[in-house]
Amino acid sequence: MINRNSSIGLLLLLAGTAYGQQTSVVKEIVIRGNQRVSKEAILGNMRTKVGRPYVQQDLDRDKRSLDEMGFFSAVDIRATPADLNAYLVTVDLQEWPAIKEFRVTGNTAFTTDQILKVLTMKVGDVYNLNARKTSSNAVEILYGNKQYLATIDEFAPLPESPGTIGIHVLETRVGQILVRGNSQTKDWVMRRLIKSRSGDVYNDAQWSRDVTHIHNTQWFETVQGRRELSSTEPGKVDLIADVKEGRTGQFNVGVQLDPQSSLAGLIRLSEANLYGTGQTVSLNFTQAITGGGPSVDLGYVNPFYDAKDTSMQVSLYSRLSYRFGTSIFGVGSPTSGSTYSERRSGSSVGWVRPVTHEWSVGISGKVENVSTNNSGSAAAKTFIRQDGNEGLISFAGIRNRRDIDVDTSRGDYLKVNVEPGYSNITEVGGATADRGILGPNYFLRNSVELREYWSPGQKPRGIDFEATRRVIAARVKYGWINGKVPYFEQFFAGGPDTLRGYDPDRFWGTQSMLMTLEYRHPLQKSFNIIGFVDYGGAWGGYGAVNDYTQDPSFKLHVGYGAGLSFRTQFGLIRVDLGFNEKGKSQPDFLIGNSF
């Protein structure tokens, strides 16, 4: 009986205690230590409220909530009994300081001002842990958008100056640069091709450009680039280029297929990487079956002419070209099947210097003599003869943003060319040949060309040069000439690289516009099928030659068709079948892409 009564009393005591605890309320909340963060903002983040029941779990949650506001370096919440069933809650806070200045260190890829602009925290704000995270992410995004690798390993008030926020940027840098597989190509040549340097801030875009630069030389069968975290230097990456050298020397004896010159025997010697130095020497000798004498061309290229990577090209030549010839493809002739030839003998020299990784500037010049041969075989007044000497200087500005120069799949190419020229024509003959061109004359030839390339729905190629791509390619080119210009220095339209479906050089004039749209679809790794539309012409030049009537003013012509391209050890070979606006077909043969 005693035990039973004791148990009942204990239960009543426990129930009373629980009831008392449940009815304990918060009588007052005291906030201390806040200077800039308002009391209302603090209370708004607390579950504990005056007049509501006191619950210790709520105080624990309130501490986490105030910490998560990010404004306080220390938060302490305590509850003490005030009177029966009432508690006083004291919140002691230590605010982060107001920001007086930012001190950025470790940044070399971007200036301090560029970094400060992206911070979400500004001078005068209370330092905040949440804003710190947002600001740190913004700086890392700034680096990432330009393809740098960087982290923020410090973003906090400095102990010696609490109002100063120290920001340290840890930029990933280049460790070792290794090239493997270049048995012929000199190491110093590879170092000239690779612009990344040990100790530089690592940049994905720059390394991709370096590997692409190696690929564009066409000295190597394969080029593979990669980066690896340095095993010896934390915060650095090693850059590795694995190459397999290809054949750079050629000696060819055979027959050349030329849409304007019919068949010609050829001897060709060339070395594109002379002694592993990157220099090119070449000798071309051709003799057409139609006679007229041989064509000889000596060439030299030095891609490392000076320390600024200026390239130099030199050429000595005596070339024979045929006007209005009939090729084995059946190209028509306005001279009733008769042909005449122009021999152009002279020399040229030019330099191209990169200004940035996208822009380069060039200057070149040529002097030559032009002489018409066997014109007596053409019917009277069915040719244009203007013999004499000329000289031209070319100034060019080039922007190249193509992913790779050979078989481009993305990017664009812009070239602006200005060519002041001088001619001294001593003999004229044939149809509309004079036009006051005899004697010395000056002219200015100008052109602007833009090419665009897209690979819709496909990832960027990067340094994956072997991947095939569906490509949409477009080109727009406009040219105009001021002054008296010889016939042979006008703009010409018609043929495989300008206006397909028409005879070569079908249109000529002092102004020209060409627009091309192509779709290139890979069937195999080395085999593409191509659809194209050409729209262009030339006007405002010398008059008609028999059936080759000319446009005195602006007029464009359409050509369209399809073609095949094959990638061989000698380069890209294309065969196109074009149709003109009258439905007449014209096959064209081209070594290399149309653009």
Identify which has the larger pLDDT, 404 or 112.
112
Strand partners, 237: 174, 229
- DSSP conformational letter for 351: E
pLDDT of residue 292: 73
pLDDT of residue 376: 57
pLDDT of residue 19: 44
Q: Flag whether 508 is in a domain.
A: yes
pLDDT of residue 320: 86
Average pLDDT over residues 71-80: 92
Q: Flag whether 138 is in a domain.
A: yes
Between strands 491-493 and 507-524, the pairing is antiparallel
pLDDT of residue 547: 79
pLDDT of residue 225: 92
Do 208 and 279 share a domain, yes or no? no
pLDDT digits (tens, 9 = 90+) for 458-471: 777 766 666 678 99
pLDDT of residue 309: 94
pLDDT digits (tens, 9 = 90+) for 230-258: 888 888 999 999 999 999 998 888 776 55
Q: Does residue 329 carry a pLDDT above 70?
A: no
d(Cα 558, Cα 387) in Å, to the nearest integer?
Answer: 33
Residue 585 corresponds to which tokens in the numbers above? 């077909």
Do 320 and 202 share a domain, yes or no? no
d(Cα 495, Cα 516) in Å, to the nearest integer?
Answer: 13
Q: Flag whether 8 is in a domain.
A: no
d(Cα 223, Cα 506) in Å, to the nearest integer?
Answer: 42
Q: Does residue 333 carry a pLDDT above 60?
A: no
Residue 559: name the closest of 501, 503, 518 by CA: 501
Q: Flag whether 147 is in a domain.
A: yes
Residues in the chain: 595
Q: Which domain holds residue 146?
A: 101-171
Do 285 and 268 share a domain, yes or no? yes
Contact 538, 512 (CB under 8 A): yes
**Which of 95, 130, 148 is at the close of a domain?**
95
Residue 323: name the closest of 198, 473, 429, 193 by CA: 429
Residue 322: name the closest of 377, 271, 362 by CA: 377
Between strands 236-245 and 173-180, the pairing is parallel
Do 215 and 328 share a domain, yes or no? no
Do 412 and 395 share a domain, yes or no? yes
Q: Position 97: which residue type?
A: P
d(Cα 438, Cα 441) in Å, to the nearest integer?
Answer: 8
pLDDT digits (tens, 9 = 90+) for 284-301: 998 877 667 889 999 999
pLDDT of residue 521: 92
Work out the pLDDT band at 50, boundaries 50, 70, 90: very high
Strand partners, 585: 579
**Which of 218, 245, 272 is at the close of a domain?**
245
**Which of 155, 171, 187 is at the close of a domain?**
171
Contact 200, 217 (CB under 8 A): no
251 burial via Cβ count (<10 Å: 0-12, 13-18, 19+): exposed
Give me the number of domains the chain comprises: 4
d(Cα 418, Cα 429) in Å, to the nearest integer?
Answer: 29
- DSSP conformational letter for 203: B
How open is the CA angle 318-319-324, to the nearest 5 degrees?
Answer: 150
Q: Flag whether 9 is in a domain.
A: no
Contact 279, 302 (CB under 8 A): yes
Which residues are CB-contacts of 486 (< 8 A; sequence separation ≥ 6)? 370, 386, 388, 390, 423, 425, 437
Q: For the chain, what percent of residues have pLDDT higher than 90? A: 66
291 phi and psi, to 5 degrees? 85, -165
d(Cα 516, Cα 476) in Å, to the nearest integer?
Answer: 7
pLDDT digits (tens, 9 = 90+) for 433-452: 666 889 999 999 999 999 99
Neighbours of 52 (CB within 10 A): 11
pLDDT digits (tens, 9 = 90+) for 481-509: 999 999 999 999 998 889 999 988 889 99
Neighbours of 438 (CB within 10 A): 16
Do 337 and 379 share a domain, yes or no? yes
| Mean pLDDT, the chain, whole residue set | 87
Q: Does residue 101 carry a pLDDT above 80?
A: yes
Contact 515, 479 (CB under 8 A): no
Strand partners, 424: 389, 440
Q: Flag whether 368 is in a domain.
A: yes
pTM: predicted TM-score of the whole model, two decimal places: 0.80
The kind and range of the H/E element at 44 are helix 39-44
Do 365 and 255 share a domain, yes or no? yes
d(Cα 542, Cα 492) in Å, to the nearest integer?
Answer: 11
Q: Does residue 375 carry a pLDDT above 80?
A: no
Q: Rg of the chain's alpha carbons, rounded to an integer?
A: 39
Which residues are CB-contacts of 340 (< 8 A; sequence separation ≥ 6)? 322, 323, 324, 372, 373, 374, 375, 377, 378, 383, 385
Do 177 and 138 share a domain, yes or no? no
Q: Does residue 330 carry a pLDDT above 50?
A: no
Do 266 and 239 share a domain, yes or no? no
Do 433 and 341 share a domain, yes or no? yes
Do 225 and 329 share a domain, yes or no? no
Displacement of CA 359 from its chain's centroid (Å):
11
Instruction: Return the SS3 of 92.
Output: strand
Contact 56, 118 (CB under 8 A): no
Q: Flag whether 347 is in a domain.
A: yes
Residue 547 corresponds to which tokens in the numbers above? 């059936």
Average pLDDT over residues 362-390: 81
Identify which has the larger pLDDT, 182 or 325.
182
pLDDT digits (tens, 9 = 90+) for 113-132: 999 999 999 999 989 999 99
Q: Flag whether 262 is in a domain.
A: yes
pLDDT of residue 554: 94
Residue 430 corresponds to which tokens in the numbers above? 């044939």
pLDDT of residue 288: 75
- The tally of CA atoms less than 13 A away on the side-chain side of residue 408 is 22
pLDDT of residue 592: 73
Do 587 and 491 share a domain, yes or no? yes
The kind and range of the H/E element at 137 are helix 129-145
Query: At 194, which CATH number?
Result: 3.10.20.310
Average pLDDT over residues 576-592: 88
